[in-house]
Amino acid sequence: MTPDLIERSSIFIVDDEQANLRLLNKLLARQGYHHLVPIQDSREVLARYQAQRPDLILLDISMPHLDGYQVMAQLNALNDPFMPPIIVITAEYSREQILKALTLGARDLIGKPFDHNELLMRVRNLLDVQLAQRLLHDQKAVLEDMVRMRTEDLKQTRLQVVRRLGRVAEYRDNETGLHIVRMSQVSALLARSMGWSADQCELMLHASPMHDIGKIGIRDEILLKPGKLTVSEFNIMKTHASIGADMLAGDDSELLQLAHTIALSHHEKWDGSGYPGGLIGQAIPMAGRIVAVADVFDALTSSRPYKEAWPVDKAVAYITENSGKHFDPDVVVHFLRHLPEIIAIVEFHAEPA
């Protein structure tokens, strides 16, 4: 540790004898220590410590009001993870007193009268260790901040990729990209209403836009057909759920695992008539049940090359009528409960005229 860094250290000198305070202050000042805080009344130590944490404390034991043991007990009660080292300076040097002082946190003991050079070396050694530990902690904090920033950068990059993946399918389907904005916000709103945590709702917000990513594997003549699909064409169209799930499978991130679940299950129906697995009721993952309501409602209220947008009341009636058939009845209850907020989302992110 550089001498100037050590000499800038703050040292508390606690002793009820004014002569001892003057001696220690003079001795340390001669060595270049200028941030010295003499304290004659031990009752002041706690408040002074909380106002200005020192790098080292020289502490007498036999003092009126509060003895050195009581002072150390007060400081220990603060649970300061960087408690400065304490050197006990005392004329009472029995084995019991040494053990008691060390138990309460003293790092060193010096008997009175003390050798000046010995005191100065012990002060410097303890300051060297204390400042080294503080520098290591500061470096660790800086590194943790750098890792946190880098992790956040990676997270934002991943989210940008995810959003663009979601929009790929929408562009292939002649949609503007606002569909995934609306349905993802409605999905997150429903998830929150159903008791999902804030972190889970954020995952829903970012994972649900990839629900139809498998559409990029469907031929244009089927995906973009303006009229009604034939049975064979619809069977091919239905494969987009499995295609999307395959594209998103195998990643260990929570985001893409949720996206995989949604892509595979958001076309399942409560009564088992959905696809690709024909799952029934609660066998359908909750995320898929939530997205099914949000996706269908937005699809109904949006215009497409092959259909006009439905009025909101007609779309709400469809959702309600299909509760227990297409949709989880519990999700429909939450949908109706938050209908004004859902309509506000739809209107705020409406398609351009």
Residue by residue, DSSP assigns 155-169 as: HHHHHHHHHHHHHHH
- Position 309 scores a pLDDT of 87
Q: Which domains does the chain show, CATH number per domain?
A: 3-141 (3.40.50.2300), 173-348 (1.10.3210.10)
pLDDT average, residue stretch 39-65:
91
Question: Rounded to the nearest 10 degrees, what angle do helices 312-321 and 329-337 cross at?
Answer: 150
251 or 174, which is more confident: 251
First to last CA, the chain: 69
Q: Of the candidates 91, 96, 85, which has an alpha carbon nearest to the alpha carbon of residue 62?
A: 91
Residues 54-91 have pLDDT tens digits of: 989 999 988 998 998 999 999 999 988 778 899 998 88
DSSP summary character for residue 253? S
Residue by residue, DSSP assigns 272-324 as: S--SSS---GGGS-HHHHHHHHHHHHHHHTS-BTTBPPPPHHHHHHHHHHTBT
Residues 194-244 have pLDDT tens digits of: 999 999 999 999 899 889 889 888 888 888 787 788 999 999 999 999 999
Residue-averaged pLDDT of the chain: 86
pLDDT average, residue stretch 47-55:
89
| Cis amide prior to 276 (ω within 30 degrees) | yes
Residues 238-278 have pLDDT tens digits of: 999 999 999 888 877 888 899 999 999 999 999 999 999 99
Q: What is the CA radius of gyration of the chain?
A: 35
- Position 1 scores a pLDDT of 47
Return the H-helix or E-strand segment holding 193: helix 178-193
- In the chain, DSSP finds a helix count (H) and a strand count (E) of 16, 5
CA distances from 160 to 129, 147, 180, 247, 327 (A): 46, 20, 14, 17, 31
